[in-house]
Structure 1
Amino acid sequence: MDPVPTGGARARARLAAAVSTAVLTVLLGLCGAVILGLVHQQTGSDGFLVGLGLAVLPVPLLLAAFRWLDRAAPTPRRHLLFAFGWGACAATLVAITVNGFVTEWLASSLLPRAPDRADALGTTLVAPVVEETAKAGAVLLLYLHRPRDFGGVVHGVVTGGVAATGFAFTENVLYLGRAFGDDLAFGHFGLESSTLGTFFQRAVMAPLAHPLFTVLVGMGFGAAALVARRRRALRTALPLLGLAAAVTLHAVWNGAASRTMWVFLAVYGLFMVPVLGLVVWAVVRARRRVLLTVRATLPQYAAAGWLAAPEPSALACPRTRALAREVARRWYGRRAARAVAEYQRAAVCLALLRARAERGAPPPGFLVHERDLLRTLWHRRPLASPATTTAARSVPRAARR
């Protein structure tokens, strides 16, 4: 049985968490400052501003999609901020530095007489490995250091997708800024504009490209989190398989983009779109499975007296959860709504934690974490339980499935 931490141990743990958060924030800030300088150097001031303005357009839509997915089992907001910052700052800095170094080495050492071939190899073979490994760093760090909050495939997909959205944002600033600089240099405007073509390709036709690749990595880590801890080989193999799939898909995409327009459109329509549809289908099924797990697991806590009888099915429905927060806000204000949100997140985490333990895959400190979540339920229950029960009565049972 896990030891119960003393007050001093809890204080030391909170201090260590605060120090690590501060250090990580400073490091990401430094990476952001460096990548900002590199992008500005390659685009110029005008190109940077135009690229920034255009690159930000698809970001809210992508984040909204991942937040919808995340509603099934909410990820702590600080983890999402870390993932986006990692992708936008650290991963892009690693990618620009390593891709440039390896491509120059190929051109100078292995292919001195064929620089175009060196660029093609760098784009098709080197960049997918470097970029997907760099983006996967955010998922890996949360998987290793925040295993309690990494409850399965949905958490992996959301983390990977948000990290890739940050990466794509910074990369789009660079590409769109360069394109605008070329347009200014050669006097291209209107339909002949490189900026328009780049924006159409990256933000209209393929805004999900980078998220799609890294979602595969997140699925691998999320599946590994659900595997029994004694099956170490499988827990190691699943993230590696996800990374291999992401690198392969990325290489196919880059290879098609470097060919003729007809080749690119054929690969886009006959391969990438079906793969995207298959991944979306799998992710939506995983989201539904999370809600079914919550509905099936929480009744045992209700039987023990931690929840009221109507609450398990209500907490397994995002629509009912949202209504409960709205009820609390109308009754007692925004602080009450936040308290209900904490109650809901604790209940969902409790259900997923118990389900993982029953599968033989409990995270480290399972019993301590379970007690912490039960303590949160107990403290928030006087306010949150009536709001949740009221919401459950307002939403028909059939609508909660």
Structure 2
Amino acid sequence: MATCPPYPTNPPRPHWWQRAWVRYGAVATLLAISGLVILALVREQTGTQGFLVGLGLAVLPVPLLVAAFRWLDRVEPGPWQNLLFCFAWGACAAALIAIIANSFATRWIATATADPAGADTLGATVIAPVVEESAKAAAVLLVFLFRRRHFTGIVDGVVVAGVTATGFAFTENILYLGNAFGTDQLTGDSGFASVTAATFFVRVVMSPFAHPLFTVLTGIGFGIAALSTGRHRLRRALLPPAGLLLAMGMHALWNGSAAFGEYGFFAVYGAFMVPCFGLLTWLVIWTRQRELRTVRTELPAYVMAGWLAPAEPYALGSMHARRLARQYARRHAGKEAARAVAQYEAYATSLAFLRQRGREGRAGAGFAARERELLGALWQRREVARPALDHAARATAPPPVAPIGYATYYAGPWAPAFAPAPYPVPARPRYGPYAYAPYPRPHPHRP
């Protein structure tokens, strides 16, 4: 009688190049080398004084742009390591690729055509958009492939692409502002009439969103591909390149606006860039509200299973209630409690999105393991998070009334402490946590 071989108690150790610290170290080393090289190249072109002036002016819009993208990502915040990688890739690797490829292509065109002015125009309108958008899109592709758990939709694509483009624009602004300062040093101009002031106004005041706007189109393509199921393989394959092509086209139109006449830049800015920026902003905010509705829709199943309190789907589906919960925890239990509540909110949101992907057939083979992991993380933080979320739900709940069978009370500070909640209160769960998974199949003993 054949017997099964014993299960190996000591699984084979991975090779050294498969270990996480080796991969992270290689990426960090690559970005550090790229940063040193691009730093030397920019300083060589601008001089030390120009570099310092350009650095000081170029850093001004960075906190605002990063904060804006972090605000968009508040529903399901991704790990800060991803954003740090994206910013470093845009500022170091993508900028280095762009400055080398653009310079080489422009010199080659000037030599082949014997027309330096035409080579500069062609390089700015054709070569630069292709090279720069491809270099920035590489960071989005890497996060999409190797951090797939944190890349689940349009908002994730927008945030990853926007932070990458912010890093790229930061380095590019150092170069442009440093060269402008060098020009002013040679001509003796200063004040509002200087080239530095004009460059600062155009690149930092009027259009700090230009590069993020271009690359966000690539991120939207990857985001829609992440939402597509396995049955839509053609869509998943075509949408990212389509977004990249749109980004290149918009970038080419922006760079070529000077060829449209004296007021071509302002015409393109007012008639094209600003409306596109408003449209994409509306799309991202609408997507964020849709994600909150998903949280309110998917989490009640875990309330019935005993994992979540009745108030939590309501509170977790409101950014105002989430903020109140963190403030309540910080006020009553300190910073560590507020951090635990923030983590609880993030894990619960990930759980809602995971369940949605499972219903739509996009969860993959690791659904059960990931669901159990998220539920375990929630259970570890429940003692701190539940009182805070319950307080937030009561503080933000609408006044009465609710349908028959729902408990109601008058919301506000005058409400008694023992008042029931203004949301559905399900029956006491028959099974405790880990007794059964709400999805994808019911418990075998559940009637």
Equivalent-residue separation in structure 1 for 2:96 and 2:375 (angstroms): 41
Q: Which moved more, 1:330-339 or 1:213-222?
A: 330-339
TM-score (structure 2 length as normaliser): 0.84
Q: Which moved more, 1:365-374 or 1:47-56?
A: 365-374
1:293 is the counterpart of 2:294: yes
Equivalent-residue separation in structure 1 for 2:20 and 2:343 (angstroms): 20
Post-superposition offset of 1:363? 5.0
SS of match in other structure, 1:276: helix
Post-superposition offset of 1:23? 2.1
Aligned to 2:64: 61
Q: 1:66 to 1:364 in 2, by over 3 A?
A: farther
Q: CA RMSD in A?
A: 2.2
1:329 is the counterpart of 2:330: yes
Aligned to 1:125: 126
Aligned to 2:50: 47
Point out where structure 2 has 5 or more consecutive residues left out of the alignment. Answer: 1-7, 400-410, 412-447
SS of match in other structure, 2:76: coil
Residue 141 of structure 1 aligns to which amino acid in structure 2? L
1:75 is the counterpart of 2:78: yes
Structure 1 stretches of at least 4 aligned residues deviating more than 6 Å after TM superposition: 6-9
TM-score (structure 1 length as normaliser): 0.93
CA deviations over 1:309-357 (Å, ceiling 9, x no partner):
1101211112211221222222222112111111111111111122122
CA deviations over 1:127-148 (Å, ceiling 9, x no partner):
1011111111111111111111
Aligned to 2:319: 318
Post-superposition offset of 1:62? 1.0
SS of match in other structure, 2:381: helix
Aligned to 2:37: 34
Aligned to 1:96: 99
Aligned to 2:415: none
Residue 225 of structure 1 aligns to which amino acid in structure 2? A
Q: Verify the 8 A CA contact 1:216 1:243 in the aligned structure 2.
A: yes
Q: Verify the 8 A CA contact 1:324 1:391 in the aligned structure 2.
A: yes
Post-superposition offset of 1:83? 1.1
Post-superposition offset of 1:259? 4.8
Post-superposition offset of 1:388? 1.3
Residue 196 of structure 1 aligns to which amino acid in structure 2? A
Post-superposition offset of 1:7? 11
Greater relative contact order: 1 or 2 (C-alpha under 8 angstroms, separation 6 or more)?
1
Q: 1:356 to 1:49 in 2, by over 3 A?
A: same
Residue 369 of structure 1 aligns to which amino acid in structure 2? R
Residue 82 of structure 1 aligns to which amino acid in structure 2? F
Q: Verify the 8 A CA contact 2:316 2:345 in the aligned structure 1.
A: yes
SS of match in other structure, 1:74: coil
Q: Verify the 8 A CA contact 1:147 1:363 in the aligned structure 2.
A: no
Q: 1:26 to 1:161 in 2, by over 3 A?
A: same
Q: Verify the 8 A CA contact 1:151 1:353 in the aligned structure 2.
A: no
Residue 379 of structure 2 aligns to which amino acid in structure 1? W
Number of residue pairs matched? 392
SS of match in other structure, 1:261: coil
Equivalent-residue separation in structure 2 for 1:298 and 1:174 (angstroms): 49
Residue 183 of structure 2 aligns to which amino acid in structure 1? D
1:356 is the counterpart of 2:357: yes
Q: Verify the 8 A CA contact 1:103 1:119 in the aligned structure 2.
A: yes
Aligned to 1:216: 217
Aligned to 1:3: none
Q: Which moved more, 1:265-274 or 1:171-180?
A: 265-274
